[in-house]
Chain A
Amino acid sequence: MKTRWQLVIFLGLGLCWIIAAPALGLATGGPSAPAPETEGPPWWFWPLILFAVTFIMGILAVLGGVGGGVLFVPIISGFFPFHLDFVRGCGLLVALSGALAAGPGLLKMNLASLRLAIPVALIASTCAIIGAMLGLALPTNIVQIALGLTIMGICVLMLTARKSELPDVQKPDRLSSTLRIYGVYQEGSTGQIVDWKIHRTPLGLCLFVLIGIMAGMFGLGAGWANVPVLNLVMGAPLKISVATSKFLLSITDTSAAWIYLNQGCVIPMMVVPSLVGIMLGSFVGVRVLAVTKPAVVRWIVIGMLAFAGVKAFLKGLGI
């Protein structure tokens, strides 16, 4: 445990040092062109702040029970000088990396279901491509307004959505039976073996059309929408829904990330500090979770999201 903490501190300080190294005259090579006359802080200021903010974001995301991607795009686009195009590209890579880090373990534990994810992912990833193309084709202010509205909608969803540990699925629908979408898992806390199946599959799949488009258009991870649809609409147990949703992001965000990558919306000096910041923050967040009241933090996260959503909305309106 102590070694892990030391590793986190070491990596965090290391990244700060790496970003600040050229500014401290530690870089050995580097640009041959003379430094341009620019107003404002030096170039390394924003990546360093980005790292610090994403680190805190990573902690809050775990405590608030949301994905890092959903916090990243509205907050970074609202309060940093980066254009929304790059923030969305970066947000997708942040959400993708988080999903890739969690996915293998969840699949091995059989909490994330590949059988449930494959048909859903096919629809969501196809629509994420359409969403990404739409998002890049539309004027920035329109996307910003839509992003603001979506974020405010997410706040409402977070405040109102119920959760069901083990939804009562009387009879699986014909499609899920044909595709053999069912499974068994062991509830870790009780040791109980839980058989699960799903219903309302066609409706759930239709909703993933919308989720995919929004994920691609705004560069948000879509866990906030995946979980309610898998859990409340399709009737998958909460644990299976959360785990499959997290894994699902690795596929949905892959398709949209390629669109943004090919379009040139990726600046490594933004991506790496964000990615490492969120990952280290999430690691610390898991530890902090044991000693905090998640309900309080959840309110803080909802408040932050609402503020960022209003800010994005007003920015889109030019106010």
Chain B
Amino acid sequence: MAEKASQDIKARPEQLIYAAILEKGMFIGLAVLLITFIIYAFGIIEPYIPLDEISRYWSMNVHDYLHHANIKGGWSWVRLLKYSDFLNFIGIAILAGVTIISYVAIIPILVRTKDWAYAIFAVAEVLILGLAASGLLAVGH
């Protein structure tokens, strides 16, 4: 009886796998973000927007910012990774992407245990987050 209770207290396998991936992704994302920020702030690599001009942009709305800085939305930042300010987006994308990877990782376990409802929920969540990440959902002021 006591053994069963102690087993119940433990997290389920899919929960532990999810947690492990989330943890690794969080550490990697934060480390990359800090390193790239040091590169940016010290001017080791030239930024797209010079540091002393950045304050001109942050009070604009995002539409004007993109227009004046000549930046396109979506994944266009990937093409600007040679600039140190956009290098920071790698860490941000890792932080924003690790949840999707965690979900993908638990789908096989949910299928194997025939937990169909949760397998469908997990697939749907991956699709929803994937859609958000895709950049297909464009909006504007």
Partners in one complex: yes
Footprint of B on A, CB under 8 Å? 18-19, 21-22, 26-33, 35-36, 38, 40, 42-44, 46, 81-86, 93, 96-97, 100-101, 103-105, 107-110, 113-115, 118-119, 121-122, 125-126, 129, 132-133, 136-137, 139-140, 178-179, 183-186, 193, 250-251, 254-259, 261-272, 275-276
Q: Contacts A30-B51, A31-B43 given: A115-B118 contact, CB under 8 Å?
A: yes
Q: Contacts A119-B121, A185-B9, A262-B73 given: A133-B137 contact, CB under 8 Å?
A: yes
- Report if B124 contacts A (CB, 8 A): yes
Q: Chain A interface mostly helix, strand, loop or mixed?
A: helix
- A108 surroundings in chain B (CB, below 8 A): 11, 16, 19
- Report if B56 contacts A (CB, 8 A): yes
Chosen A-B contacts, 12 in total, with CB atoms closer than 8 Å, are: A22-B41, A29-B42, A82-B58, A97-B26, A122-B128, A129-B131, A250-B99, A254-B132, A257-B96, A262-B133, A272-B34, A272-B88
- B16 surroundings in chain A (CB, below 8 A): 107-108
- B45 surroundings in chain A (CB, below 8 A): 29
- A271 CA to B39 CA in the complex, in Å? 15
Query: Interface 1/0s, chain B 46-68, versus A by CB < 8 A?
Result: 11001111111111111001100
Q: Indicate if the CB atoms of A122 and B62 lie closer than 8 Å.
A: no
- B30 surroundings in chain A (CB, below 8 A): 97
In the complex, what's the smallest C-beta–C-beta distance from A220 to chain B, in angstroms?
A: 17
- B18 surroundings in chain A (CB, below 8 A): 107, 114
Q: Indicate if the CB atoms of A118 and B125 lie closer than 8 Å.
A: yes
- A257 CA to B93 CA in the complex, in Å? 10
- A84 CA to B64 CA in the complex, in Å? 13
Q: Which B residue sits closest to A27, measured CB to CB?
A: B43
- A244 CA to B27 CA in the complex, in Å? 21
Interface size on B, residues (CB 8 A): 79
Q: Indicate if the CB atoms of A137 and B62 lie closer than 8 Å.
A: no
- Report if B20 contacts A (CB, 8 A): yes
- A222 CA to B9 CA in the complex, in Å? 27
In the complex, what's the smallest C-beta–C-beta distance from A272 to chain B, in angstroms?
A: 4
Q: Indicate if the CB atoms of B8 and A184 lie closer than 8 Å.
A: yes
Q: 16 other contacts beyond A31-B46, A139-B141, A262-B134, with CB at 8 A cut-off?
A: A26-B42, A28-B43, A29-B42, A30-B43, A31-B51, A32-B50, A81-B58, A85-B61, A119-B121, A136-B139, A136-B140, A137-B139, A251-B125, A258-B96, A262-B73, A269-B54
Q: Indicate if the CB atoms of B19 and A103 lie closer than 8 Å.
A: yes
Q: Indicate if the CB atoms of B125 and A263 lie closer than 8 Å.
A: no
Q: Which B residue sits closest to A182, measured CB to CB?
A: B8
Q: Indicate if the CB atoms of A104 and B19 lie closer than 8 Å.
A: yes
Q: Contacts A118-B122, A137-B140, A268-B89 given: A275-B33 contact, CB under 8 Å?
A: yes
- Report if B111 contacts A (CB, 8 A): no
Q: Indicate if the CB atoms of B128 and A126 lie closer than 8 Å.
A: yes
Q: Contacts A186-B9, A254-B129 given: A266-B89 contact, CB under 8 Å?
A: yes
- Report if B104 contacts A (CB, 8 A): no
- Report if B108 contacts A (CB, 8 A): no
* Top 10 closest pairs, chain A to chain B, by CB: A31-B50, A30-B43, A27-B43, A268-B88, A104-B23, A107-B19, A29-B43, A258-B132, A184-B8, A85-B62
- A137 CA to B61 CA in the complex, in Å? 12
Within B13-29, which residues are at the interface with A (CB < 8 Å)? 14-16, 18-20, 22-23, 25-26, 29
In the complex, what's the smallest C-beta–C-beta distance from A53 to chain B, in angstroms?
A: 15
Q: Which B residue sits closest to A193, measured CB to CB?
A: B5
The residue from B23, B38, B128 contacting A129, defined by CB atoms under 8 A apart:
B128
Q: Indicate if the CB atoms of A18 and B53 lie closer than 8 Å.
A: no
- A31 CA to B93 CA in the complex, in Å? 25
Q: Contacts A85-B62, A110-B9 given: A259-B95 contact, CB under 8 Å?
A: no
- Report if B92 contacts A (CB, 8 A): yes
- A129 surroundings in chain B (CB, below 8 A): 128, 131-132, 137
- A113 CA to B16 CA in the complex, in Å? 11
Within B95-141, which residues are at the interface with A (CB < 8 Å)? 95-96, 98-100, 106, 117-118, 121-122, 124-125, 128-129, 131-135, 137-141
